Amino acid sequence: GQQLNQSPQSMFIQEGEDVSMNCTSSSIFNTWLWYKQDPGEGPVLLIALYKAGELTSNGRLTAQFGITRKDSFLNISASIPSDVGIYFCAGLYNQGGKLIFGQGTELSVKP
Amino acid sequence: DVKVTQSSRYLVKRTGEKVFLECVQDMDHENMFWYRQDPGLGLRLIYFSYDVKMKEKGDIPEGYSVSREKKERFSLILESASTNQTSMYLCASASGTSGGLSTDTQYFGPGTRLTVL
């Protein structure tokens, strides 16, 4: 079945550093979504991407929908302590309408 | 803003008990979903519904059932709770299209952390 590989699994960075994470798939997706989950909370949508090649920003966050439609990237610039959490990518599997989630990237930011 | 609420943030139940987890959304979304989240396994889809009284099995439906009597409410039922159902349960909703299975962006509730003793 559909699988998403998200990497890295975890990151430990210094405040002010830039962060990059990505997701790859063996199949094509029509939509890519990036979520952030704070400890003990539900995931919150950060960025939605609907077209191959699309590059979208939300404050210090930038995400791209890969040209091949099989991957997506999320970058966070100038990280701050409140960026701590788990970041999930999700792809929309068109047949059946179910989202497929990556395993998550756990981000820790040292002040 | 979309608001998805879940009836409890924390729940402790005993093995064999019947457990109801409630989810309500206020955006007239057609599609609703139940996931469980476990460390190292990410989010796994249990059941989803694309219309009132309609339900579809997700990837791990065993041991669960659902009910959607009203559009805004989607309930997850554990008929006889077991310790391996200790988990974080997340509800989500999406606007979707009428009668179809395609979904728009999913919005999540805050989660219910269930412990089965």
Q: How far is it, in rounded angstroms, from Cα A5 to Cα A66?
A: 14
Structure tokens at A74: 């999320």
Set of chain B residues whose Cβ sits within 8 Å of the Cβ of A48: 105
- Closest to B111 measured CA to CA, from A25, A40, A53: A40
Residue of A51, A54, A46 lying closest to A90 (CA atoms): A46
- Tokens standing for A60? 């210090």
Calculate the alpha carbon distances from B5 to A43, B25, B30, B98, B105 in Å. Answer: 13, 6, 16, 23, 17
**What does the mean pLDDT of chain A come to?**
91
Phi, psi torsion values for A70, nearest 5 degrees: -110, 5
pLDDT band at B103 (very low <50, low <70, confident <90, very high): very low
> Chain B residues within 8 A (CB-CB) of chain A?
4, 9, 31, 40-43, 45, 48, 50, 58, 90, 92, 96, 100-103, 105-111, 113
d(CA A99, CA A9): 20
Nearest-CA residue of chain A relative to B6?
A: A42
Residues B2-14 as b or e (16 or more Cβ within 10 Å = b): bebebeeeebebe
- Residue B105: C-alpha distances to residues B10, B11, B101 (Å): 26, 28, 13
The predicted-structure confidence for B42-71, as pLDDT tens digits, reads as follows: 889 999 998 899 999 998 999 999 999 999
pLDDT for the residue A95: 47
Query: What is the Cα–Cα distance from A12 to B75, expressed in whole angstroms?
Result: 38
Q: Percent of chain B, pLDDT > 70?
A: 91
β-strand pairing of A105-110 with A85-93: antiparallel
